């Protein structure tokens, strides 16, 4: 650590490099470390129909000083005193707390409903949940994380945000590349990096930094990109991002990738140019980009840098690339939207009809649906029903070889099929709306429910009841004689 200047929190080698790169701009960059970090949240489009709907609903539940994040339609800055993580709406998946600069990456990816999209390094789930909001439950979202403990956190956030068309995997990128050649329409590689852009936000990132780690990260990032290249369809979009300033992990990494994979090219984004600075060819190694471009120092068009001294957020880098090939128009199959079984002819129930255990489980679920829901999931969602042990799932369409992967979550877990009864899952509750169930209660003391306590309800209620806070579901309760037995998962319960 540098102990001889005013930036004593920063590694000396890092400071020397940033002065060399930024020149006269360096002092302004270092001064940004003396300012308070920005706090951000992003509302969930799966819960609210519009920005106005979110703002109107929030105004009735919290007195927060929100300001819009310019580059993200769903994004807001909030004040540290607001503490949105302690509001019941956080448990209901109304929003995701996310660093504002990080919201830029999915905007560059520009996901569309009905596509097959992969978030290759997905934990803890900020960008995965942002992608899901733009997909609106249509298509397939594969969120992968190679570290098991982080993959579990990813799966929890996917559930909390009410995402029903996602597959959460705990796999190596190499293994996925071997099994899913040219499978995805869009891929996001938010690569593990040296974390320099988070120094102001996370002091631990400072203590873990080293020049050697920068080189190790750059090598790993190129490997991950090479795996992503094979999984992308011709004509597909690949977005690479980091939260570091190191050119070795940013411009140099992209230049090397483009040299090795000539079917890819950088894709200019008017959106990126409007809000962010461009990457610089002068920060690539000579020889990795055309010599005349390197010498002139022109912008590395299609790469973008978010600087903490130029905007309200932390440091980020992103590059948008396209793969040469087929037309980007997606042609949906004739049977799009029809529930299918795993093998054989199309069917509304999605499994071999001679499977008695499956038939019994599906029958119990249908009884629950008729008795407790006002909707039919078969009509509202596309996919296929599958039984894993005693758990019934609704899987997304075109789920890729799900039995071959280490899967933490496959689509929407509907519930457990026990002897002569069906117990709906917490995930199903979070996906529903009050108007879609036959019984719901607006909880006047949501923290009591989240703590695991029983709450009162209409004495006429019987059976499964959706417990809501400010109009959004928190989970299930089971009504008997004016009392709701609490079915909020024990592992999620809060202390207060």
Q: Which residues are catalytic?
A: 243
Residue for token pair 């996919």: 383
DSSP string, 105-174: HHHHH---TT-EEEETT-TT-HHHHHHHHHHTT-SEEEEE-SSHHHHHHHHHHHHHTT--SEEEE---HH
Summarize the chain as % helix, strand, coil (round to 5).
35, 25, 40
Q: Which residues have CB under 8 Å from 118's CB, separation 6+? A: 141, 142, 143, 144, 176, 183, 184, 186, 187, 188, 228, 231
Calculate the alpha carbon distances from 210 to 11, 27, 219 in Å: 8, 22, 15
CB count in 10 Å sphere of residue 342 = 14
Distance CA 29, CA 14 (A): 12
Calculate the alpha carbon distances from 403 to 12, 105, 167, 179, 280 in Å: 49, 31, 12, 12, 44
The answer to whether the CB of 160 falls within 8 A of the CB of 47 is no
- In total, the chain counts a number of residues equal to 496
Spell out a b/e string for 146-179, using b for 16 or more CB atoms within 10 Å of the CB, else e.
Answer: beeebbbebbbbbbbbbbbbbbbbbbebebbbee
Judge if the upstream peptide bond of residue 124 is cis by omega within 30 degrees of 0.
yes
Distance CA 453, CA 384 (A): 36
Structure-token pair, residue 97: 């707390």
Radius of gyration of the chain from Cα atoms? 24
Residue 137 CA, distance from chain mean position:
13
């Amino acid at each position: 650590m540098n102990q001889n200047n005013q930036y004593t929190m920063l590694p000396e080698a890092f400071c020397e490099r940033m002065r060399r790169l930024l020149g006269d701009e360096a002092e302004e960059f270092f001064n940004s470390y003396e300012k308070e970090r920005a706090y951000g949240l992003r509302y969930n489009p799966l819960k609210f129909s519009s920005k106005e709907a979110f703002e109107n609903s929030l105004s009735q539940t919290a007195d927060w000083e929100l300001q819009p994040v310019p580059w993200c339609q769903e994004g807001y800055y909030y004040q540290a005193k607001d503490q949105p993580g302690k509001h019941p709406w956080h448990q209901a998946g109304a929003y995701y707390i996310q660093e504002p600069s990080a919201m830029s990456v999915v905007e560059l990816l520009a996901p569309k409903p009905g596509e097959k999209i992969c978030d290759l390094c997905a934990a803890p789930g900020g960008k995965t949940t942002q992608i899901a909001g733009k997909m609106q439950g249509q298509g397939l979202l594969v969120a992968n994380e190679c570290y098991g403990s982080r993959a579990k956190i990813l799966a929890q956030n996917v559930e909390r945000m009410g995402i029903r068309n996602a597959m959460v995997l705990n796999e190596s990128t190499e293994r996925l590349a071997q099994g899913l050649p040219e499978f995805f329409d869009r891929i996001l590689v938010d690569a593990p990096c040296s974390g320099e852009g988070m120094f102001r936000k996370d002091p631990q990132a400072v203590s873990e930094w080293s020049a050697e780690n920068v080189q190790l990260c750059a090598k790993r990032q190129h490997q991950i990109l090479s795996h992503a290249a094979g999984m992308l369809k011709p004509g597909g979009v690949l977005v690479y991002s980091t939260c570091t300033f190191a050119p070795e992990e940013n411009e140099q990494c992209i230049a090397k990738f483009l040299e090795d994979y000539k079917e890819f090219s950088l894709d200019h984004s008017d959106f990126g140019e409007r809000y962010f600075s461009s990457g610089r060819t002068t920060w690539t190694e000579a020889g990795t980009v055309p010599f005349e471009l390197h010498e002139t120092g022109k912008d590395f068009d299609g790469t973008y840098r978010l600087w903490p001294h130029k905007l309200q957020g932390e440091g980020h880098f992103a590059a948008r690339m396209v793969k040469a090939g087929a037309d980007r128009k997606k042609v949906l199959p004739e049977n799009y939207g029809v529930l299918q079984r795993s093998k054989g002819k199309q069917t509304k129930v999605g499994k071999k009809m001679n499977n008695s255990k499956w038939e019994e489980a599906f029958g119990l679920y249908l009884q629950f649906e008729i008795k407790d829901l006002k909707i039919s999931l078969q009509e509202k969602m596309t996919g296929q029903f599958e039984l894993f042990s005693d758990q019934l799932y609704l899987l997304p369409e075109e789920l890729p070889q799900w039995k071959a992967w280490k899967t933490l979550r496959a689509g929407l877990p509907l519930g457990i099929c026990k002897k002569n009864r069906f117990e709906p899952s917490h995930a199903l509750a979070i996906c529903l709306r009050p108007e879609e169930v036959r019984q719901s209660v607006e909880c006047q003391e949501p923290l009591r429910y989240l703590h695991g306590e029983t709450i009162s309800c209409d004495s006429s209620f019987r059976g499964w009841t959706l417990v809501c806070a400010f109009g959004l579901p928190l989970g299930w309760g089971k009504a008997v004689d004016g009392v709701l037995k609490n079915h909020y998962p024990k592992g999620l319960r809060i202390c207060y």
